[in-house]
Amino acid sequence: MIVFLKSHENASISNPTERLHGAVVKLLARGLNIEEIHGPGRARFCLSPIFDVSLNMVRRFEKNKKYLFRLASTNRKIRDNLLLQLTIDPIVVLENTAFEVCEVLSEELYSIEEPATDTLYFISPTTFKVSKTEHLPLPEPTRIAKSLSKILNREIVLPAIEEICVRTKAITFSHHVLIGFVGYLKFNEPLRELAWLHFTGLGYSTARGFGSVLVRGVHPNEKRIKELHEEFSNLEKKRCGD
């Protein structure tokens, strides 16, 4: 789902992604048990940073200007509950700034074009946790395979890499800055299982803005969501000079 927001005032928020995570969890907790959000059996979801309409991550907001974020999950309850809460109260407060939800695009029907599932587009910084204090901001194939295997609860072997283009990008939190990578990764043959990452995200802290991934060949039926996904993907290719 894609949520469009308008700021009620000019504002600068140093950690908008962290604030958005807190606001979304608070909304979800109105209709779900907290264990479903934070417990061991929690529903996995992927929350992007906030982007402007040019799809750039932002920390400065202008009054009445439109912004957006993406939320994806394999659990329908996450999407449906967030939609319900935003319908009841379409105001999201980040720090001390109120944002009005002006539009929500949602889709539950997707088609998988299996021969095209060979490319991952990392539209938000992605990183892998190596230890309690170390993270790896690189698309290391064994880490990708390990994450996907954990999601599917079976071993996944990735095809060889055909093309890769990434660059580092950071997300600022209250007490630290965490670096990830954005860009794209193309394998030399398709792998249908990659489609799961379109909905679960990849790597560390996907619920806090990291690891939002689009997978080539995964097509939402909703036209405007499909167009936005294409814009995100094309932007990552353009940034890499493709």
Tell me: do 86 and 33 sit in the same domain: yes
pLDDT reported for residue 11: 95
Give how far the C-alpha of residue 234 lies from the chain's centroid of Cα atoms, to the nearest Å: 16
The per-residue pLDDT for range 46-79, each reduced to its tens digit, is 999 999 999 999 999 999 999 999 999 988 889 9
The boundaries of the domain holding residue 125 are 111-239
Cα 42 from Cα 38, distance rounded (Å): 6
Selection from 216, 176, 165 nearest residue 192 by Cα:
216
Q: Which of the 8 DSSP states describes residue 63?
A: B
Tell me: do 18 and 122 sit in the same domain: no
Tell me: do 76 and 170 sit in the same domain: no
At residue 180, the 3 state secondary structure works out as strand
Tell me: do 51 and 95 sit in the same domain: yes
**Mean pLDDT for the stretch of residues 205-225:** 94
Cα 157 from Cα 194, distance rounded (Å): 11
Last residue of a domain, one of 63, 83, 105: 105
The per-residue pLDDT for range 168-190, each reduced to its tens digit, is 999 988 888 899 999 999 999 99
Tell me: do 125 and 226 sit in the same domain: yes
Overall residue count recorded for the chain in this entry:
242
The per-residue pLDDT for range 103-153, each reduced to its tens digit, is 999 988 899 999 999 999 999 999 999 888 888 899 999 999 999 999 999
The per-residue pLDDT for range 24-49, each reduced to its tens digit, is 999 998 888 777 776 666 667 899 99
What percent of the chain has a predicted confidence (pLDDT) above 70? 96
CATH code of the domain in which 163 resides: 3.30.70.1900
Q: What is the pTM of this model?
A: 0.93
Contact 233, 177 (CB under 8 A): no
Tell me: do 210 and 233 sit in the same domain: yes
Selection from 20, 45, 49, 233 nearest residue 125 by Cα:
49
Tell me: do 92 and 150 sit in the same domain: no
Tell me: do 152 and 83 sit in the same domain: no
* Enclosing H/E stretch for 122: strand 119-126
Tell me: do 91 and 128 sit in the same domain: no
pLDDT reported for residue 29: 87
Last residue of a domain, one of 67, 89, 105: 105
Tell me: do 93 and 120 sit in the same domain: no
- Give the count of domains, the chain: 2
Last residue of a domain, one of 85, 105, 125: 105
Tell me: do 95 and 154 sit in the same domain: no
Tell me: do 235 and 134 sit in the same domain: yes
Cα 72 from Cα 60, distance rounded (Å): 24
* Enclosing H/E stretch for 20: helix 16-29
